[in-house]
Structure 1
Amino acid sequence: MGRHLEWERDAHDWPNREASCFVQAAGMRWHVQVMGQGPAILLLHGTGASTHSFGALMRLLASDFTLIAPDLPGQGFTQQPPREFLSLPGMARAIASLLRALDFRPQIAAGHSAGAAVAIQMTLSRLIAPRAIVSLNGALLPLGGVAGQIFAPLAKLFTAIPLVPDLFARRARDPQAIERMIAQTGSRLDAKGVDFYRRLASDPGHVAAALGMMAHWDLRSFASLLPRLNVPLTLVVGMQDRTIPPSQAEQVHEILPQAKIVRLEGLGHLAHEERPDLCAAAIREAGREAGIVAAGAS
């Protein structure tokens, strides 16, 4: 097997490292970042990412909100999960266990890509009771067309072959391969941002957890539950997103007409990393509309 991430060796320059801690919950050792003061916000990253993706966004919000951002099970510096926590409902339960251990009750839940689905699942399952949810290029519906027909089966196949994560990780050690992968999302990151993803994708365990997450999710069942959501939802959409089609936000809006769409022109799937200021503004506005007063508000 290839090299695995180690905190002391690989996270010397991790964004907001001073806010990091390790917490035992749901049978796992979690890497969690906690910072700021004021109303509580839960931040959940997308598949294959980590807390690093919220680095600048957290710094922008920390003056007015208390923020908690975990690495999802098996990803980043969080321990590999039992199989039961790889499904969407299972991951929701695992994160709820973490929040109980931290005695953290979010008033706003914000998630990027798959993290948005987790936040909504937690809300629908009454594991959290936020007053507002913000989806950052959320993966909330099954992919359509050919991609939707082959994506999950391929992920399931790859997870069944033990050597696949190691092969992916070896390939990811080529910086140009990661640059191409990020470019395919429609986003542009600086060299430092690319390097964080290179480190993550070079860890076979991280790759295996991301593949396992994709293989065990059932977004069709999840989408059937969306009409039950009665918490204000803001859909922040990078209009150049090549991973989750921007049109998906319109489909979600048809299911939930009360949802608000915030369109960010010229930004891709990693819009929260490209322009964290715009995403912070959207989160603040969602909180304001829900009557959540920031700590710094007069």
Structure 2
Amino acid sequence: MSLECNVHLSLIVSSTLDTWLQHVNRRIPRRLVAFERRCGETIWSGWRSAEFPETGATLLLLHGTGGARHSWTPVLERLDPSIGVLVPDLSGHGATRCFGHSRHGLNDIAAELLALLRAEGLARLDLVAGHSAGAALALTLALGRPEGLRIQALLGIAPSLVPPPAMYTLMLGPLLAPLIGSDLSVNATAALARSTGLVDRLLDSTASVIDAEQREAYRLLFGDAGHVRGAIQFMAATDLPGLLARLPQLPAQTIATGFLVADDDPWIPVKALMPILADRLPGAAIERMRGGHMLPEAAPQRVAAAIESLIARARANGIGT
């Protein structure tokens, strides 16, 4: 199917998802607007700057598995308002929906993102910042060296770059993914999210302090079966060993790369992550801080400062593809 993009004027959402949209859009930063756009088989939804700056910085924010646009709200509230921002719900997440396919691997979503960027007229990104699995996606996008897109800097925040054990990757993962991604399992998970403390326990397991409004956004979001299905499909299709093997190919001389690592992250243990970064991306700037996995929501001022600092460093050094 052609990747030619056009504006999609009607967004099909469940009542649960519609309630989530109303909840998160009440807190949309003043300089941003909600958008919907169809690119091939993907109907994108998210937030964007009302106008992207012609000479100022432009930023792409990529949330992690199970997150959505609202995951970046605390950071956006603290970010320099002169920075142009695109904050999509990733494929299968939030209000972004894919029709005719359920391909949610890193390369698949990177290709879909490229179509969205072209539709938005963005040929230059001063920074792509990704949280958790969004960091893996940011790296995948840069590794593809897409024609017509210049990426100047990458920032991985609590990056999900620690692969599961080899036994899971080779044997258990392919067996379990169809089971946990079945309609019965997805619908049951969404029902539990609506009626139990499942989402709060999940958030608590990140060792992060998240405010009540953000928690409510996740409760509403995980009550939508489509979002749950998309998150599971993304997890099942993510090939971290394959990405790690390609990381040394990242053009470090043309893309400034940095990581913000949480020392108390139980999901991405720092002892496992640091050797991977040192081995695969030895030239990357690494900043460590106390905190759990959900840094954009628990430490938004620190994340906003890291974003602005890396943009400034890349611009000062004239870095860019």
The 5 A counterparts of 1:138-217 are 138-144=159-165, 150=172, 153-159=175-181, 161-174=182-195, 176-217=197-238
Match of 1:57 in 2: 75
CA shift at 1:256, angstroms?
1.2
Match of 2:282 in 1: 257
Q: Deviations over 1:266-295 (max 9, x none)?
A: x111011011100011111111221269xx
Match of 2:28 in 1: 16
Match of 1:87 in 2: 105
Structure 1 residues 147 and 171: alpha-carbon distance in aligned structure 2, compared to 1, 3 A threshold: farther
Q: Deviations over 1:220-246 (max 9, x none)?
A: 111100001122211111211111112
Match of 2:91 in 1: 73
Q: Is the CA contact 1:185–1:241 (under 8 Å) kept in the aligned structure 2?
A: yes
Q: Is the CA contact 2:20–2:217 (under 8 Å) kept in the aligned structure 1?
A: no
Match of 1:229 in 2: 250
Match of 1:125 in 2: 144
Which residue, out of 237, 240, 249, partners 1:219?
A: 240
Structure 1 residues 114 and 82: alpha-carbon distance in aligned structure 2, compared to 1, 3 A threshold: farther
Separation in structure 1 between the aligned mates of residue 174 and residue 160 of structure 2, nearest angstrom: 14
Which ranges of structure 2 fall in alignment gaps of 5 or more residues?
1-13
Match of 1:39 in 2: 57
CA shift at 1:193, angstroms?
1.3
Separation in structure 1 between the aligned mates of residue 316 and residue 113 of structure 2, nearest angstrom: 23
Structure 1 residues 62 and 281: alpha-carbon distance in aligned structure 2, compared to 1, 3 A threshold: closer
CA shift at 1:172, angstroms?
0.8
Separation in structure 1 between the aligned mates of residue 35 and residue 279 of structure 2, nearest angstrom: 40
State the secondary structure of the residue aligned to 1:11: helix
RMSD, matched Cα: 2.2
Q: Deviations over 1:168-223 (max 9, x none)?
A: 00111135221111111111212211111111111111000111111112111111
Separation in structure 2 between the aligned mates of residue 62 and residue 146 of structure 1, nearest angstrom: 45
State the secondary structure of the residue aligned to 1:77: coil
Match of 2:119 in 1: 101
Q: Deviations over 1:144-181 (max 9, x none)?
A: 4877675665334312x221110000111135221111
Structure 1 residues 156 and 229: alpha-carbon distance in aligned structure 2, compared to 1, 3 A threshold: farther
Q: Is the CA contact 2:57–2:311 (under 8 Å) kept in the aligned structure 1?
A: no
State the one-letter code of the partner of 1:237.
V
Query: Paired residues, what number?
Result: 288
Q: Is the CA contact 2:262–2:289 (under 8 Å) kept in the aligned structure 1?
A: yes
Which ranges of structure 1 fall in alignment gaps of 5 or more residues?
294-298
Q: Deviations over 1:31-88 (max 9, x none)?
A: 1211275311100000111000101212222413101010001110111354364111
State the one-letter code of the partner of 1:259.
A
CA shift at 1:28, angstroms?
2.0
TM-score using structure 1 length = 0.89
Structure 1 residues 146 and 66: alpha-carbon distance in aligned structure 2, compared to 1, 3 A threshold: same
Q: Is the CA contact 2:91–2:109 (under 8 Å) kept in the aligned structure 1?
A: yes
State the one-letter code of the partner of 1:83.
H
Structure 1 residues 235 and 144: alpha-carbon distance in aligned structure 2, compared to 1, 3 A threshold: farther
Separation in structure 1 between the aligned mates of residue 160 and residue 207 of structure 2, nearest angstrom: 15
Identity %: 29
Q: Is the CA contact 1:41–1:108 (under 8 Å) kept in the aligned structure 2?
A: yes
